[in-house]
């Protein structure tokens, strides 16, 4: 029971992070110690090791191999966070953007430091992988949102692209939805219970997750340290997006704030975000 509640709590943290454009649920999965198990468990649903016994109607083997208790607990936590926090976080981002982004900046920065320690030995190839990851994230988060169709096929495509990013630390699936012009539509669909829109996005998410998890699981098993270095780079590159001080409310251009009450509040919240991550990491290690 305690293990189930722990997994639900981790899923809740992932869901809360995924709601915010610029923060990845994959980051929370990493610092809370379930990332590789999560990717591998998702991969099994599209693999022969699960489908072969299913076709033979060997349900006991399917249940044993699917790791369903782990996945269902995490998924429930994510869903709970989306339902309970989507409206609240949407309001906070509108009314207190500097405070929210400051907290998440500290969170992502500390997360990058923690994840970098998972690399056993840093060498030239890992440093190159780190730089490539940082450049990829930096370019992606600097893209300007575009106008796109609201057709069902594009909602399916958006769901598949966003879910792949959501399991990658550093690249925010919700931010990719912003770039694709679908973030507000999907957030509104959650708040208004628009089942049709959520169904199309869900279909894309399931398909994209099954396909991408195979590739990511293979990378983690075959090139673990190089992959972790790249994921660390993704987090570092994404800091451009979560920097709290912008030229204007609609601008993506970062500025250095003048020291004052608002700046000190932001710095304090950055430190608070970092402390939360470090505390979660220490708790996870226990």
> pLDDT (tens digit, 9 = 90+) per residue, 135-148?
988 887 777 666 77
Percent of the chain exceeding pLDDT 90 equals 3
- At residue 206, φ and ψ (nearest 5 deg) are -65, -45
pLDDT at residue 276 greater than cutoff 70: yes
Q: What was the pLDDT predicted at 35?
A: 80
Q: Are 131 and 244 in contact (CB under 8 A)?
A: no
Asked if pLDDT for residue 207 goes beyond 80, the answer is yes
Could you tell me which of 152, 148, 149, 147 has the C-alpha nearest to residue 195?
Answer: 152
Q: 104 with 92: CB under 8 angstroms?
A: no
Lowest mean pLDDT among 34-38, 195-199, 211-215, 277-281: 277-281
The per-residue pLDDT for range 221-260, each reduced to its tens digit, is: 888 889 888 888 888 887 887 788 877 766 667 788 888 8
* Residue 146, pLDDT score: 66
Could you tell me the residue range of the domain that residue 9 belongs to? 2-285
pLDDT category of residue 22 using cuts at 50, 70 and 90: low
How many domains is the chain built from? 1
pTM of the model: 0.70
Radius of gyration for the chain, computed over Cα atoms and rounded to the nearest angstrom: 19
* pLDDT tens-digit map of 86-136: 777 777 777 788 888 888 888 888 878 887 888 888 888 999 999 998 898
Scored b (16 or more CB within 10 A) or e, 6-23 reads bbbebbbbbbbbbbbbbb
Per-residue pLDDT, 128: 92
> Band of the pLDDT at 286, cuts 50, 70, 90?
low
Q: Nearest to residue 105, comparing CAs of 265, 238, 284? A: 238
The residue among 220 and 77 whose pLDDT is bigger is 77
Higher pLDDT, 60 or 73: 73
Residue 131: per-residue pLDDT: 92
Task: Output the CA torsion sign for 186, 5, 93, 158.
Answer: negative
């Amino acid at each position: 029971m305690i293990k189930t509640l722990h997994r639900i709590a981790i899923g809740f943290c992932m869901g809360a992070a995924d709601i915010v454009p610029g923060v990845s649920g994959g980051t929370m999965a990493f610092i809370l110690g379930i990332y590789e198990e999560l990717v591998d468990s998702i991969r099994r649903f599209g693999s022969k090791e699960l489908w072969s016994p299913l076709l033979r109607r060997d349900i006991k083997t399917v249940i044993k191999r699917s790791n369903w208790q782990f996945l269902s607990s995490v998924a429930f936590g994510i869903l709970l966070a989306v339902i309970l926090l989507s409206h609240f976080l949407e309001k906070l981002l509108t009314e207190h953007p500097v405070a929210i982004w400051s907290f998440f900046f500290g969170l992502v920065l500390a997360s990058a430091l923690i994840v970098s320690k998972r690399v056993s030995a840093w060498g030239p190839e890992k440093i190159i992988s780190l730089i490539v990851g940082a450049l990829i994230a930096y370019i992606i988060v600097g893209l300007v949102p575009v106008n796109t169709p609201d057709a069902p096929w594009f909602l399916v495509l958006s769901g598949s692209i966003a879910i792949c990013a959501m399991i990658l630390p550093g690249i925010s699936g919700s931010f990719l939805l912003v770039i694709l012009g679908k973030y507000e539509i999907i957030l509104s669909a959650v708040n208004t219970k628009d089942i049709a829109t959520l169904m199309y996005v869900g279909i894309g998410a399931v398909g994209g997750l099954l396909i991408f998890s195979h590739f990511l699981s293979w990378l983690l098993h075959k090139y673990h340290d190089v992959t972790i270095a790249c994921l660390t780079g993704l987090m570092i590159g994404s800091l451009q997006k979560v920097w709290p001080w912008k030229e204007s409310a609609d601008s993506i251009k970062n500025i250095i704030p003048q020291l004052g009450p608002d700046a000190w509040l932001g710095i304090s919240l950055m430190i608070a975000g970092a402390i939360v991550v470090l505390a979660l990491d220490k708790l996870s290690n226990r």
